[in-house]
Amino acid sequence: MLKSRLIWVILQVFWMASCQSLPDATPTPKVVVVDYPPFDWSVNVERLTETGCSGVLGENCTELIRLGCDEIRPPHFYTGGLEPPFPVGECIHQGDNPPNKAYFRQPNGLDSRYRSFVVFLDDETRLMIKQSEFREVFAPVESAEEALSYAMAMTSLSAEYSFDPNGKVKYLVDKIEETHVEETPQGYVVFLFDSDHRMGCEPHEFFAVNVLVTPAGEVIEQSRRVIYETYACFDFDELRLDDH
């Protein structure tokens, strides 16, 4: 009986010691996320609405219909920082053939409609699909906010402000900085993100990408690294400006 009680006391001592060495039960994040204030996406819709031509086009939008647009929607990039603040839209053509092969593209994915970008200038409405055309209108780049919009448009990289440090993904880095801009002597470094752009449901890689935007409007990718992997489904790709 004494021996049994002694064993019980020893076990209690070990149990108390082990409890004191247990780590905090609160789960620790898989990655440190550095937060930055997001921008207001509503400016994209507001600028298009002000043109009087958005969504499925009515008969009053004769210039856009002449260009081959059946529908206008906001672009996938943030337009709030662009200077001059011309509205930009994505022109969607419903037919099976492009109305203008020089400007209309079919992005990868299940939506086979032809698309181009359209810019509402002061004196005309113009289709736009080349980076050189975009640079002609929106360079030089003279502020951090302008650099953010400009970099997104020129590269089709995305802005991200909603990383979950405890998300069910396989993080491959210890730290992620959300989208922001840092000014340097060479111009503006914009922190953006990308995926591997493979269509279908399978494991995908996601990247943090830093690009330098010079005051003259050149965009140079400085770094790209995989930040996490996860299973995801991609059925549609974004329209992009041609790289010339």
Position of tokens 């086979």? 112
What percent of the chain is helix, strand and coil (3-state, nearest 5)? 25, 30, 45
Alpha helix stretches (DSSP H) within the chain: 2-20, 42-51, 62-67, 131-138, 144-155
Query: Could you tell me if 191 and 225 are in contact, meaning their C-beta atoms sit under 8 angstroms apart?
Result: no
pLDDT value for 29 = 61
Q: Hey, which residues does 128 pair with through a beta bridge?
A: 117
Which residues does 191 contact at the CB level (< 8 Å), separation at least 6? Answer: 177, 178, 179, 180, 181, 182, 208, 210
pLDDT value for 244 = 77
Helix (H, G, I), strand (E, B) or coil at 141: coil
pLDDT value for 153 = 98
Nearest to 206 by CA among 164, 148, 150: 164
Helix (H, G, I), strand (E, B) or coil at 140: coil
101 secondary structure, DSSP code: T
Residues of the chain where predicted confidence (pLDDT) is lower than 70: 1-29
Digit-coded pLDDT (tens) for 107-164: 999 998 999 999 999 999 999 999 999 999 999 999 999 999 999 999 999 999 999 9
Q: Hey, which residues does 231 pair with through a beta bridge?
A: 203
pLDDT value for 141 = 98
pLDDT value for 19 = 36
- pTM summary value: 0.86
